[in-house]
Structure 1
Amino acid sequence: MQDDSSRNTIIFLVCALALFIVYQMFVLEPAQKRKAAELKAHPPAAAAQLLPGAPALNAPPAVTRAAALAASPRVPLAAPALKGSISLRGGRLDDLFLTQYKQTTDKNSPPVEMLRPEGTPFPWFIDFGWVGQNVPGLPGATTPWTLAQGSTLAPGAPITLTYANGQGLTFTRQIAVDDHYMFTLTDTVANAGAIPVTLAPYGTVQRQGVPADVGKTGVVHEGTIGYLDSHVRAFTYKDLSKNGGSTQEFNSASAWTGITDRYWLAALIPDAGEQVHAVYRDAKAGNLDVYEANYTGAARTIAPGAQVTVTQHLFAGAKTVPLLQSYEKTLGIAHFDDAVDWGRFFFFLTRPIFLFLTFIYQHVGTFGVAILLLTVCVRVAFFPIANKQYESMTKMKKVQPLMEDLRKRYKDDPAKQQQEIMALYQREKVNPLAGCLPILLQIPVFYSLYKVLNISIEMRHAPFLAFSDLSARDPTTIWNLFGLIPWNPAHTPLIGQILDTSLHLGILPLAYGFTMFLTTSMSPPAGDPAQQRIFQFMPLMFMFIMAPFAVGLLIYWTWSNVLTTLQQYVMMRRFKVDNPIDRALARLSGKGSG
């Protein structure tokens, strides 16, 4: 019977692995190739400008970035952390690069592209303006603004744009930028007409389609986000695309709203006392998803000969927590550091863990070392609890032979077998459930560590040992002996894609699999032979599952396994329980029995 169970378990696991590989090879990978080919042949079309409440319209096919920039006069932007330009057509911020971050780890890599002009593939841009009923000539997406003051936008050197609508209204916009990523826009409307007009300010962040690698992770939020109605309001791109495009509306003061990626954020920040109506939506344009976060402020009535001024802010840059917190204090932006995805349930753990990790990083200067030290600190904090867990597991393993003997002796009498096993637990002072509670207590902390490493921009492109980017997967692979053979397995005919995806095993996944094998080998075996086979295969299965994860995460998991194994080993030596490490050392020294 046990042999049948073992055989069935092995057959099940082999079939499951085969199905996974077949599905990856013949379903997922061809679908990805088709999608990439479609995007290459038919870049997503741009949509027309969407003011609050306006319908989406189809637009001409996408053009190159250079052509889109050349379509309108521009004012250059040069700041320590930013470069780009502002379009005088619409007064739009749609050309922005983050100069302190590169697209890849290559030393000649261009900087990260934050915003892209409309008309290019996947445009991402920001507009500010005014709306009003029955007021002609309000500035919009095609309005020709005039540069009235300044030549290049830079810290301490604002620019001023003007526009007259020919109906007695003159619009003046001063744009300033600081040393980081915060813009200040001061809009003034002067009414030289004969009748009063009523206008409301608005701001909008729009993203027309997203690249294939954006919005796919279930760990870090990507999509619309803001602090509205005294809550953090976040919707993924998938949420907004449901049912042909959805709309979420909020009324709020002390608000901000925008669109975020894993590391980058474009956020609109009205004046702290401004009452706004905020909207998140996917205003589809044909087959194109047009994601938008916008707000409309309170209406102002401007009498003849009077003027009104509204000050708004815009953040467009990297989500570094200290910077977000500094803006939160100096500008009074409520909950601005919640633009970082701390998690819905364990934020009370992720925040202090992140702060402690960055504290270590600031003192050691290497993020990889900071991960190792943080893992040690967490293990030390949980040492008493983990010790109880491993003590219980060690005692369970010690009585395992006696339990097996009882199972054989009373195999035809399950009730008597259970009675004798319980009596054995009492004699040996073993509690089989004692190892479960410590595990349950540690799960939230270790998940929070996993979350922190995913949201930490400090890990992006951080080098450690032979790895150039802790946020990327292990670039090495067993198929070319970790780079010793000058050959790229991905270029192998027929199976190259599989070797580069499903079967891509670097040195870190192998190390993780080995350390997981050690920890499971030191645990008491399951009573059921089929379960034993499953636990034996788990390190192999998890080695493949974890292989695509970031290097920093694999370092954390592997190092955590090493510390776990060490603690288990000490406990097993203390209770004089046989363990795989001592057996291996005995064989190496020639003292083993076989």
Structure 2
Amino acid sequence: MTDNRNMILAIVLSLAVLFGWQFFVAGPQIERAQQQAEIARQLEEQPDAGLPTPALGTTPGAVTPEVPSAAASFADRDAAIAAGPRVRIDSTGLLGSINLTGGRLDDLELKRYHETVDDSSPIISLLTPAGAPAAYFVEQGWVPAGTQLSVPDAQSVWTVEGANQTLTEATPVTIAFDNGEGLVFRRTFAIDENYLFTVTQSVENQGTGDVALFPYSRVARHGTPPVANFFILHEGPLGVLGSRNLIEMSYSDLANDQQVDVESTGGWLGFTDKYWAAAILPEPGAPISARFSYTRPGSLEVYQSSFVGRDPVVVAPGATGEHLSYVFAGAKVEAIIDNYEQGYGFDRMELLIDWGWFHFITKPMFYLIRILYDVLGNFGLAILAVTVIIKGVFFPLANRSYASMAAMRRVAPEMKAIQERHKDDRMAQQQAMMELYKKEKINPLSGCWPILVQIPVFFALYKVLFVTIEMRHAPFFGWIQDLAAPDPLYIFNLFGLLPYDPTVVPVIGPFLAIGIWPVIMGITMWVQMKLNPPPPDPTQAMIFSLMPVLFTFMLGTFPAGLVIYWAWNNFLSICQQWVIMKRHGVEVNLFGNILSSFKRKPKAAE
């Protein structure tokens, strides 16, 4: 009876995972693929709606984005970039330009990352000018403090000061704007070898009276970007602000809330994608009023993360006032982000990477894999090595578990005799079984411990493969060129020989994404089960035989690195269990059990 209860529980959990994966992940993936083309088409039809300078709200420093005004609309990103004067950006990690119309950082590409595993494919585009489809840009500026001052806006044309015409690590660039009323505004952009911009804003007062200005910075995003929409990954507005700690919102949540205001000292905010992010950061310790906002001028959706300094910069006649802030725009590389957090004192910048609630497991797993990668030179080999280490750590537990399983196999004839003797009395059968377990010092649930221990490890590795950019396009060997993507060779199109993609088949498409490694995993799981004799109950035996098939289909859409881990873990478990059972004097007729699976069994007598 205990075996039946455990078996029913295993079936229910397996089916729940299988259909939950289909409903929440695989199914939506097909819908998103169909929707992305429609989203791109709609964005191309929308006019540009560049947000003007935010206005100062009733509370000093509050950001109130105004309704975007109509502007030029461009067919694509390249046309928008070519439409006006620019300052080139060419650093070790980034390529792009600063738009002199508005003084915006709105053209940025990541040199180190390509769209596909093919190094000849285009590099990743992160920021895009206003007016182009899916505009995404960063802007700094000033808000007048209660007086009608002319400050530069989105249409103001800036000029380059000095000899530096290209922004590099060694050559900062300064742009200037004269408002014609006694104020000269300057922005100096500096960049490091990775993804951090230092932006120094200054105001030179050539007039006759004091001026007071509040500095602001914002990240604007036009249109709702496609997201993975997966429960273990956050994509959308994000920030670490004040006592509220980490603030995460989906685009739909922000659209419903319209506006979220937070008072903070230091911190940061912006938008995060799976592997990339754009965030604005005040100086650590600076008091700011931060805001996440959503507006919908016409058919265009505009999302914004912004902050305004709560302390105004007061500039006397003949003096110059300054404000310093930072922009992170690039790949979410753990080591780079950690260096920024430690070197600049940014508050919990590590949370740009979605380590999740179980970060105390996920981060150590990532660090261990990275250390092993430094030694082995391949993330796939690092995953195999991690599996061996985990097996070694939990060896005492597995040893006790497999020893108990060996004892259960040794008393299998007695268990069968009890079942026959009390086949009409379930209560007596269970009592006799418990007495046998007690006599032989057997824990019938011990076989579950290796699986239960593996669950948090499996989840941590899955999280690492899913969210860390270090795993993106990380090759293994042979046809596996991206450990973070599913095995690309599907058996249902004969590994690419047939000219169709089985994953696009309606309803069952996600279940047909079965590559070579999921099949290997299923085989190792099946062989591992054959270490034990088949259950005496025919129904249980049939369910046991179906479990490897179910898991093969379920893991087909998982990252290849995770499937390789599972297959390798199964192989090590087979070796470990074989040795332990042999040591306890149990005959392991593995090949006999396998061959018996293919023998046709006679029908039971009616």
Q: What letter corresponds to residue 364 of structure 1 in structure 2?
A: L
**Partner-residue secondary structure (3-state), 1:334:** coil
**553, 556, 566: which one aligns with 1:547:** 556
Task: Please show how residues 439-458 of structure 1 align to structure 2 within 5 Å.
Answer: 439-458=451-470
Matched, 1:558 2:573: no
Distance verdict in 2 for CA 1:491–1:524, change over 3 Å:
closer
Q: What letter corresponds to residue 105 of structure 1 in structure 2?
A: V
Farther off after superposition, 249-258 or 439-448: 439-448
1:153-210 deviation digits (Å, cap 9, x = unpaired): 1111111111122333221111111121111111111233343332211111122234
> Match of 1:303?
316
Per the normalisation by structure 2, the TM-score is 0.85
In the comparison of the two structures, how many residue pairs are matched?
571
| Cα contact 1:116–1:124 (8 A) shared by 2 | yes
**462, 471, 483: which one aligns with 1:470:** 483
Identity score, percent: 38
> Match of 1:118?
130
RMSD: 3.5
How big is the shift at 1:40?
5.1
**495, 503, 528: which one aligns with 1:482:** 495
Whole-Å separation in 2 of the counterparts to 1:586 and 1:577: 19
Task: Please show how residues 579-590 of structure 1 align to structure 2 within 5 Å.
Answer: 579=588, 581-583=590-592
| Cα contact 1:240–1:282 (8 A) shared by 2 | no
| Cα contact 1:245–1:284 (8 A) shared by 2 | no
**36, 58, 70: which one aligns with 2:82:** 70
Whole-Å separation in 2 of the counterparts to 1:491 and 1:542: 18
Q: What letter corresponds to residue 371 of structure 1 in structure 2?
A: I
**523, 545, 553: which one aligns with 1:536:** 545
| Cα contact 1:277–1:297 (8 A) shared by 2 | yes
Whole-Å separation in 2 of the counterparts to 1:18 and 1:455: 22
Task: Please show how residues 379-458 of structure 1 align to structure 2 within 5 Å.
Answer: 379-436=391-448, 439-458=451-470
1:14-40 deviation digits (Å, cap 9, x = unpaired): x9999999999xx86985575245235
Farther off after superposition, 102-111 or 450-459: 450-459
| Cα contact 1:479–1:489 (8 A) shared by 2 | no
**571, 575, 581: which one aligns with 1:572:** 581
Q: What letter corresponds to residue 518 of structure 2 in structure 1?
A: P
Whole-Å separation in 1 of the counterparts to 2:28 and 2:330: 33
Q: What letter corresponds to residue 182 of structure 1 in structure 2?
A: L
Whole-Å separation in 2 of the counterparts to 1:503 and 1:515: 20
| Cα contact 1:97–1:111 (8 A) shared by 2 | yes
Task: Please show how residues 508-519 of structure 1 align to structure 2 within 5 Å.
Answer: 508-519=517-528
Distance verdict in 2 for CA 1:264–1:390, change over 3 Å:
same
How big is the shift at 1:541?
1.7
| Cα contact 2:102–2:154 (8 A) shared by 1 | yes
Whole-Å separation in 2 of the counterparts to 1:22 and 1:348: 28
**320, 323, 326: which one aligns with 1:313:** 326
Whole-Å separation in 2 of the counterparts to 1:35 and 1:224: 21
How big is the shift at 1:270?
0.9
Task: Please show how residues 198-277 of structure 1 align to structure 2 within 5 Å.
Answer: 198-212=212-226, 214-229=227-242, 232-238=245-251, 240-241=253-254, 244-277=256-289
Matched, 1:370 2:370: no
**142, 149, 164: which one aligns with 2:155:** 142
Matched, 1:333 2:346: yes
| Cα contact 1:125–1:207 (8 A) shared by 2 | yes
How big is the shift at 1:121?
2.0
**158, 167, 172: which one aligns with 1:158:** 172
1:194-253 deviation digits (Å, cap 9, x = unpaired): 4333221111112223443x24232232222232215642424346346x3443332222
| Cα contact 2:91–2:168 (8 A) shared by 1 | yes
Whole-Å separation in 1 of the counterparts to 2:220 and 2:413: 66
Distance verdict in 2 for CA 1:369–1:21, change over 3 Å:
closer
How big is the shift at 1:288?
4.4
Whole-Å separation in 2 of the counterparts to 1:182 and 1:384: 47
Whole-Å separation in 1 of the counterparts to 2:530 and 2:481: 33
| Cα contact 1:262–1:455 (8 A) shared by 2 | yes
Distance verdict in 2 for CA 1:232–1:437, change over 3 Å:
farther
| Cα contact 1:489–1:500 (8 A) shared by 2 | no
Per the normalisation by structure 1, the TM-score is 0.86
> Match of 1:35?
35
Whole-Å separation in 2 of the counterparts to 1:288 and 1:539: 49
Whole-Å separation in 2 of the counterparts to 1:481 and 1:222: 35
**45, 48, 51: which one aligns with 1:49:** 51
How big is the shift at 1:293?
1.8
1:387-442 deviation digits (Å, cap 9, x = unpaired): 22222333334434433432332233232222211111111111123344564444
Farther off after superposition, 391-400 or 519-528: 519-528
Whole-Å separation in 2 of the counterparts to 1:248 and 1:394: 60
Distance verdict in 2 for CA 1:97–1:477, change over 3 Å:
same
How big is the shift at 1:139?
2.0
How big is the shift at 1:128?
0.9
**99, 103, 126: which one aligns with 2:115:** 103
| Cα contact 2:203–2:320 (8 A) shared by 1 | yes
Whole-Å separation in 2 of the counterparts to 1:22 and 1:232: 33
| Cα contact 2:50–2:131 (8 A) shared by 1 | no
Distance verdict in 2 for CA 1:205–1:446, change over 3 Å:
same
Whole-Å separation in 2 of the counterparts to 1:113 and 1:293: 20
Distance verdict in 2 for CA 1:41–1:456, change over 3 Å:
closer
Whole-Å separation in 1 of the counterparts to 2:138 and 2:563: 38
Q: What letter corresponds to residue 64 of structure 2 in structure 1?
A: G
How big is the shift at 1:361?
0.6
Distance verdict in 2 for CA 1:500–1:106, change over 3 Å:
farther
